[in-house]
Structure 1
Amino acid sequence: MIANPPCRGVAQNDAAWSFAAGPSRLPDAVLARASETLFRRDAHGAAAIERPFTGDHFREALADAQTRLIRLLQVPEHYRVLFLAGGAMHQFAAVPMNLLDPAAGLGRAAYADSGYWSRRAMQEARRHANVTVAARHAGSTALAAPSLSGWHLPHDAAYCHITANETVDGVAYPALPDTGEVPLVADATSCILSAPLDIAKFGLVYASAQKNIGPAGLTIVIVREDLLQRPATAAPSPLHYGIQAAQGSCVNTPPTLAILIAGLVFEWIEQCGGLTAMGEVNRRKAASLYRTIDASNGFYIAPVAPGHRSITNARFHLANHTLTDHFLDEAERAGLAHLRGHPHVGGLRASLYNAMPEAGVDALIRFMTQFARRYG
């Protein structure tokens, strides 16, 4: 058990903060616990990360992680939770392989275009399916998620896919679309566990680990049981949801280290008050940062419309683009790392996942305020 977890992070005088989009910062208490319990050999000569995935010790740890995640997300009983190797991009292919069912008249995939990662998901899906664009991102002067009305869902759509939070673009859906009888599928990689999520509104949710769950190399898939009955004849066994569900996520060697650390992260979130508490803190962090941007008299600009701004990936830029590299150099020297925006959009980005305490955001805000005073 993680004793007295420092849910607010380390002390205010911590010298360095990483705002990387992923792999992201892990909770300090989890790092400490992992060093104590996962990397030391026991009396039998094996550290936790060296135990066979077929053995009782690992299976118990996997079951515990699954139970904690189900409890955190309040996953309904008619869903299965899978812990799979790989990243979210594996699921870009796995979703159409598993959910298309042409024999049942479900031969098309619908996708909403909300930014960079939804387009990447669409691009991969087109290798396996006939894809319809159900909705496109909105906003001319300010970016926004697709409107929640007027979606085009063909009668033979096997599912409708959204990217709930665009890590690159900094865009998040203000609410979920109503897709009727068409199962809603979500890539929730950069927002899962950042706030409560109503799993019952989805047919399937997937999320790679390296934001709010743990180290890279693990992806969580939460899938409604009726969808496991689709034939999935094109899916190889490691990506076949039905086979993985039947074999407890252990068709192939699972990413054992990532799963063990994920279990510690789930325990930490529980002891910090669960997802309601996480959501409150994350909204507060994001609001403080966006407030600083909006109050800068145009020195900093947030290109995403209020109400559509991500609370986990805050995208912004300098009105004077020539100052960007100077900003990044000074920030690095001030102990504020990995603030450069994605190469696809440029500018700046601060990722504010669960393990980033308010002290880190406060440090960034102080630096931004001082930088604007010097160069504004």
Structure 2
Amino acid sequence: MTKRSYNFNAGPAALPLEVLKQAQEQFVDYNGIGMSIMEVSHRSKEYEQINDETQQLMSELLGLPAGYKVLFITGGASTQFTMIPMNLLTAGKTGSYIMTGAWAEKAYQEAQLVGEVSISASSREGGLLNMPAIADIKAPSNSAYVHITSNETISGTQFNDFPNTGEIPLIADMSSDILSRQIDASKFAMIYAGAQKNLGPSGVTVVIVREDLLKNEPKNLPTMLRYSTHLKNNSLYNTPPVYSVYMVNLVLKWIKANGGLAGIEAKNREKTALIYNTIDNSNGFYEGMVEKADRSLMNITFKLQSEELEKQFLKEAAASSFVGLAGHRSIGHLRASTYNAVPYESCKALAEFMQQFQSKLS
């Protein structure tokens, strides 16, 4: 095998090497059936076993109580921005959104096209470089739901805790930090996440829904845009993204084998500390972009003293096999995405490169 790059892409992102090797071994012949899993019918016993097992693994890892269902839906998290208000935002209700960054903004804008919405808390005054205080989240009493984005991939902010919304359903877009740490999943009526950051390759979106949330679903929705369609048909109403679900299955088994969410969280905190400590101990050479209390475990954003210096940093980093360190085009600067599958060794290598780069120019 040729030397692998240090992959810090924000998504599609790194996959565990062990998972890639297992998928490679099974690519042409899955479990001796003489076919790739990509070639089998989604009605076959082989795929139905993967479908059911992947749901069970997700439930186990999150510790879901009874009454929740795991769904596999296509269209990415962006389609969920529309499906949520279409299914839940009924007459006389408002959708309450917590404004924390670009992805929260997109979800809010899509809901505006469907019904009445409001912003219940915002970090706009802080330049979207912090998270609102949990105590400041006050949703209207007629809220159909409260929607939060648990981790903002672009700015690198993350909720450390989640609000208690009482009888109002809490919904979270966890696309960029799902299964990265221990959470109380029972706080949420719905969690959704595109797979391409922490769960597998792009192509499937995982939706975890409390079944009673769907009891007032409008009857005039298109079939494919109803959550009940996917729930009643065990995510098999139409042809699912078979290979993407198979890869999610392997990733979930990898997470379980690495200590579950407790083990993964410990690894994530250890490896990201290498980079954050390098930033904080650089005497201003590197500057973190987010308030320390709201720093993400998944997306580390930082900057240097000039655009020219950042260009030099990226050029030299690329020459040393670092990939994906440019910040999002909307805010620029630098970003290292340290998802579950990014190994400790990659973070250690980046921290050492940053220290060497600073030493050379100081």
Same fold (TM over 0.5): yes
Equivalent position of 2:308 in the other structure: 322
1:314 aligns to what SS in structure 2? strand
Q: Deviations over 1:246-291 (max 9, x none)?
A: 1001111111000001000011111111110000010111122111
Spell out, residue by residue over 1:30-70, the C-alpha distance to the aligned partner (whole angstroms, 9 max, x if none). 00100112333677652211101011110111111111111
Following the alignment from structure 1 to structure 2, what is the Cα–Cα distance between the partners of residues 158 and 55? Answer: 39
* Partners of 2:282 and 2:220 in 1: CA distance: 53
Deviates more, 1:48-57 or 1:230-239: 230-239
Letter in 2 for 1:116: A
Which of 50, 66, 71 is 2:60 aligned to? 71
Is 1:108 the counterpart of 2:85? The answer is: no
- For residues 234 and 331 of structure 1, what CA distance do their matches in structure 2 show? 53
Q: Does 1:252 align with 2:203?
A: no
Q: Secondary structure at the match of 1:89?
A: helix
Quick one: distance in 1 between partners of 2:28 and 2:12?
Answer: 20
- Counterpart residue number, 1:301: 287
Residue in structure 2 matched with residue 99 of structure 1 by the alignment:
88
Question: Is residue 16 of structure 1 aligned with residue 5 of structure 2?
Answer: yes
Alignment partner, residue 163 of structure 2: 177
Name the aligned partner's letter for residue 48 of structure 2.
Answer: R
Alignment of 1:16-95 (within 5 A): 16-40=5-29, 45-95=34-84
Q: Which amino acid aligns with 1:19?
A: F
Residues 166, 51 of structure 1: alpha-carbon distance in 2 compared, 3 angstrom cutoff: same
Give the direction of change, closer, same or farther, for the CA distance of 1:56–1:142 in structure 2 (3 Å limit). closer
How many residue pairs are counted as aligned between the two chains?
362
1:156-213 CA-partner distances (Å, limit 9, x unpaired)? 2100100000000100012111222111100000000111221100110000000110
Cα distance between partner residues in 2 of 1:41 and 1:363? 36
TM-score when normalising by structure 2:
0.96
Q: Deviations over 1:111-169 (max 9, x none)?
A: 00011110011111111121100100166489210111232312221001000000001
Spell out the pairing of 1:110-259 with structure 2 (5 A cutoff): 110-137=96-123, 140=126, 143-233=129-219, 235-259=221-245
CA contact (8 A) 1:137 1:143 kept: yes
Structure 1: stretches of 5+ with no match in the other structure: 1-9
Write the letter of the residue equivalent to 2:231. A
1:3-28 deviation digits (Å, cap 9, x = unpaired): xxxxxxx9xx9552110000001100
Q: Go from structure 1 to structure 2 and tell me whether the alpha carbon gap of 1:368 and 1:142 turns closer, same or farther (over 3 Å shift).
A: farther
Residue 139 to residue 316, structure 1, CA distance change in 2 (3 Å): farther
Partner SS state of residue 263, structure 1: helix
**Residues 193, 275 of structure 1: 8 Å contact kept:** yes
- Give the C-alpha shift of residue 239 in structure 1: 2.6
Partners of 1:87 and 1:274 lie apart in 2 by: 25
CA distance in 2, matches of 1:289, 1:43: 44
Tell me how far apart the structure 1 counterparts of residues 83 and 294 of structure 2 sit (CA, whole Å). Answer: 28
Q: Partner letter of residue 169 of structure 1?
A: S
Q: Cα deviations across residues 83-129 of structure 1 (Å, max 9, x unaligned)?
A: 11121001000111111222xx4x21000001111001111111112
Query: TM-score, normalising length from structure 1?
Result: 0.92
Q: Judging changes above 3 Å, is the alpha-carbon distance between structure 1 residues 151 and 44 closer, same or farther for their aligned structure 2 residues?
A: closer
1:196 maps to a residue whose letter is Q
Structure 2 distance, partners of 1:371, 1:234, is 59
- Aligned partners of 1:138 and 1:147 also within 8 Å: no
SS in 1 for 2:207: strand
Instruction: Identify which range, 194-203 or 13-22, moves more after superposition.
Output: 13-22
| 1:237–1:244 CA contact under 8 A, matched in 2 | no
Could you tell me which amino acid in structure 2 is paired with residue 198 of structure 1? D
Structure-1 residue corresponding to 2:326:
340
Cα RMSD for the two superposed structures:
1.8
% identity of equivalent residues: 39
For the structure 1 residues 275 and 50, does the alpha-carbon distance in structure 2 shift closer, same or farther, using more than 3 Å as the test?
same
Matched with 2:252 is: 266
8 Å CA contact 1:94–1:235 kept in 2: the answer is: no
In 1, the alpha carbon distance for the partners of 2:286 and 2:177 equals 24
